[in-house]
Structure 1
C-alpha cells in the first residue's frame, strides 16, 4: 500500500531517532561518554547525514546545471547562506511542518480577493505552505490546499483531486475563478488539470521551481510522477512534450513561473522558463526554500495582489456542466465559453456527472453521447429527474443514432449538436438554453421547451 507523505516522513523521523539513540547508546556504553554528551553526539551524527544529503543535491544539480547569468553569481558567503537556508528549510519542512500537515481550507466570506488553491510538489504535502498561509490569512484571502496522494502516483491521476478542490473552493467562496500557487511538481499537476478541464476557472497559475522542461535529478526519483519529470538526452520526456504541445498562447499567458538560478533540484535551472509565460528569475534560493524565502513570498503576494477582484454575484452565475470522456474536448469546450458569464463545471463520465448533480444546481448540461459505462442519453434521462429545470444538450458525431432521436422525442434531451462542434453555433445555443432554463425554474418543471437541433440550424 502506498504511504502518504505524512506517514512516510513520520517513519523517517522514527528511523532517524532510532539511529541517534543507537549512536548515543554506543558512545555511552563503549566510549564512556556522559549521557547528555552521548545524546548530543547521536543527534549531531543524524544532522550531519541530513546535511550531507542536502549538499549532495547541490553537487548532483551542478552536473546538469544551466549557465548562471553574471548578475546572479554568488560569492563564498552568499553560497554559505544559500546552503544554510536550504538546509534549515528542508529540516523544518520534513521534520515538523509536513510531518504534521494536512489539507485544509480557510474561507473569508467578505474578501474581495481571488481565492487561492495551494498545490505542493513531489514527496511533500500541504505542510509545505506553512509560511505562505499566514500571509494569506493576514490579507484575508480565502485559500485551500490539497494533498497529492499516493506519493508515487502518476501526475495525471492527481487531476480529479485537483478538479474537486477547484470546484469546492469556487462553491465555498462564490468566485468564478481561483489563483493557483504550485511548487515544483505541483505546477505540472496544475497544467495537466488545465489540459483536461480548460482554463476557465483560472485567474492565474503561479509556479515555484517547477521543472516545466524536466530535471536531470528526476532520474534518481521513484514513482510514475518522477518518470514524468525526467529528461532524456538533454531534452524533456515525451509526457512533458505532449503537455507543452497541448497549450496555446492564451493558456501560457495565464502562468507566472518563479524560479531560482540556484535551484538544487530543478536542473538545468532554466527548465523552469516556460515560453509564453511570465518568467521571474531569482538567485540565491534553493528548491525547498522557495516556499519560505521572504523575497519569494513577497513576489507571490505581489502577483496575487495584481489580480482583479472577482465579479460580484459570481455565485449566481449559471452553472454549465460539460461531460465527456475526452479531456481535450472538455478543455476546448471550457475555453470556448470562457468570459461568457458561465460557472463551468466538468465531469469525465456519467457517474461523475451525477455526483456533480447531487451538489450543484445546474442551468445547462452538455454531454457527449458515446461514453463508456453510462451513455449520454441515459445520463440526461437521469438528469431530467434530478434537475428537471436544467437544459440538456447532447453532443455526438452519430447524426442518425436511434437513441438520440428517442431522447429528443421524449424530452430527456432538449437539443442536439453534432461533432465536431462549432463555437459560434454552440454559444448561440447556450444563450437560448439559459433563457429556457430560467423560464422553467420560474414556472416549474412542467414547462415544455422546443427541441433544438443545431445540426440543421
Structure 2
C-alpha cells in the first residue's frame, strides 16, 4: 500500500540523484568549479519543478471558467500567484509532507481563555497525493486559538474515495472520545472535501458542526484526466459534465446537509478547473482571487477565512450566534499578517483584503461589524474606501490606519470630520491600543444592536 510519505520520499530521492548527476557531469566533463557544479545541479531541479508548476497553470487554462471582474489580476499579480504556488508546492512536497504523520492535539477546557467562545474540535482531511503535512500552516493557528484538532492520512494514495470513509469515521469517533465533544468541524482540502461529503452520505450529519472545504472539485475537474487511480476517475469532469460518482453524491444531499458546508475556493486554481466547480449550491461559498491550489493551505487571507468560520461555531446544544466579523484592509501582506495575529483569539471572525476593491467585494457578500483600513494604498486609498463603506454599509464601525500622517493628512482629517472614519490610529500601532479600540468598537455595535 503506497503512502504519500513514501511516494514523496522516493520523488525526493530521484530529484537528489538527478541533481547529483548533473553536478558531477558539470564538474568532471565540463570543468566547472565544485561550487558551480553543485549550484547547477540544484538549479536544474528547481527549474524543473518550476516548469511543472507553470505547466499546471497553462493546462488548467484549457478548462478554466471565466474570472469575475473583481478577481482579475494583472501581470504583477500573476507573478505573485506563481511565486506563492511554487513556494507552497516546494515546501509541502519537499519538507512538510515527507516528514509528517497523522496526529491529535487536545486542549483541556481549563486551558482555554475565558473570553474565547467554546470551539468544536477540528478534523483535518487532506487532498489527493498529500498527507497530514499539508496542514503545517493551519495547525499553528489552531494551537494559538487552543482548538483541539486531529489529522488523518488517506491511504492508499490511489484509492477509491468511498474507501477512505472508514478512516474518517474512525478519526471522528476518536476525536470525539478524546475531547468529550458531540460534534466536530471538518476542514478538508481538494479531494478531501469529497471524502468528507462521502462520509456524510454514509454516516449522516449528527457529528458535524461544520464542514469547510478548500478548493474541492465538487463538480469535477478537467485536470483529473491526467491523473491515475480510481479517485481521479471519480473527480473527472468531461466537457462540463461531472462524473457519475459526483452526480450521485450530489443527489444524496438534502438542503440541510448543504447548509452545513462552507466552500472556500479561488478563481485562479491551477488544479480544479473550471474553477467554479468548487461553487456548491446551497452551501456558503467564499471566493478568492490570486491564490493557487496548493497555496490555499498557507495563504494568510484564506486561513483567516477558515479561522473565522471556526470562530463562529459553538456546540449545537448552545444558542448559535455567529461571531461578529472584523475586516482588515492593507496592501502589504506582512502588515495584514501582523494585524490578523494581533486580533486572533478575541472571538471575532477575522477577514482580510489586500485592496480597497477587494474589501468592497468582501463587504458585498457578507456582513462586517468593524472595518480597519490602512490609508496609503494604491488605487482606492483608505479614506476613500471608508467613505464608500459609510455610504453603502453605514452600520459598520470604521477605523483608519496610517504610517505617514503628513502624506494624506488632509484626507485623514476630512474623513474624521465627515464621519467616513470613526477613529484614526497611527502606525506603528500598539497591539494594546488596537485591541482596546476594537473592543470599544464591537461594544458600541453590540449596544446598538440591543436597542
- Does TM-score exceed 0.5, indicating one fold? yes
- Structure 1 segments (4+ residues) deviating >2 Å: 309-312
Alpha carbons 1:114, 1:310 under 8 Å: kept? no
8 A contact 1:199–1:251 mirrored in 2? yes
Residue from 177, 189, 192 that aligns with 2:183: 177
Q: What TM-score comes out, normalization by structure 1 length?
A: 0.67
Which residue does the alignment assign to 1:228?
234
Instruction: Report the RMSD for the aligned CA atoms in angstroms.
Output: 0.9
2-structure distance, mates of 1:201, 1:125: 23
* TM superposition shift of 1:199: 0.5
Aligned equivalent of 2:355:
none
The corresponding residue for 2:270 is 264
Contact 1:290/1:296, CA 8 A, preserved across alignment: yes
Work out the CA distance in 2 between the residues paired with 1:265 and 1:155.
Answer: 18
SS for the counterpart of 2:235 is: coil
* Paired position in structure 2 for 1:276: 282
- Number of the residue aligned with 1:285: 291
> Which residue does 2:125 correspond to in 1?
119
Q: Which has the larger radius of gyration?
A: 1
How far the C-alpha of 1:3 sits from its partner, in A, is 1.3
**Is 1:57–1:264's contact at 8 Å kept on the other side of the alignment?**
yes
Q: Secondary structure at the match of 1:64?
A: coil
Give the alignment of 1:41-440 within 5 angstroms. Answer: 41-110=40-109, 111=112, 112-309=118-315, 311=317
Question: Could you say which residue in structure 2 is the equivalent of 1:27?
Answer: 26
Once the two structures are superposed, residues 191-220 of structure 1 have per-residue CA deviations (whole angstroms, 9 ceiling, x without a partner) of 000000000100000000000000000010
Counterparts of 2:100 and 2:276, CA distance in 1: 31
Q: In 1, distance between residues paired with 2:313 and 2:164?
A: 26
What do residues 226-275 of structure 1 show as CA deviations (whole Å, max 9, x unaligned)? 11000123200000000000000000000000000000000000000000
Secondary structure, aligned partner of 1:79: helix
Q: 5+ unaligned residues in a row in structure 1: which ranges?
A: 313-457
Q: CA deviation at 1:309?
A: 3.9
Q: Take 1:89 and 1:310, find their aligned partners in 2: how far apart are those partners?
A: 36
CA contact (8 A) 1:263 1:286 kept: yes
> Is the contact made by 1:113 and 1:310 (CA closer than 8 Å) also made in structure 2?
no
Distance 1:162 1:307 in 2: 21
SS of residue matched to 1:176: coil
Unaligned runs of 5+ in 2: 113-117, 319-451
**Is the CA contact (8 Å cut-off) linking 1:175 and 1:310 kept in structure 2?**
no
Q: Supply the distance in 2 between the matched residues of 1:270 and 1:85 (Cα, whole angstroms).
A: 21
Please tell me whether residue 3 in structure 1 is matched to residue 2 in structure 2.
Answer: yes
Is 1:36 the counterpart of 2:42 in the alignment?
no
**SS of the residue 1:145 aligns to:** strand
* 1:444 paired residue number: none
Distance across 2 between alignment mates of 1:220 and 1:155: 17
Equivalent pair of 2:120/2:183 in contact (CA under 8 Å):
yes
Deviation at 1:310, TM superposition (A): 5.7
Offset of residue 109 of structure 1: 1.8
Indicate the residue corresponding to 2:397 in structure 1: none
Alignment length, in residue pairs?
311
For residues 116-139 of structure 1, the C-alpha deviation after alignment (integer angstroms, 9 at most, x for no partner) is 000000000000000000000000
What SS does structure 2 have at the residue aligned with 1:181?
strand
CA contact (8 A) 1:163 1:193 kept: yes
Corresponding position of 1:327? none
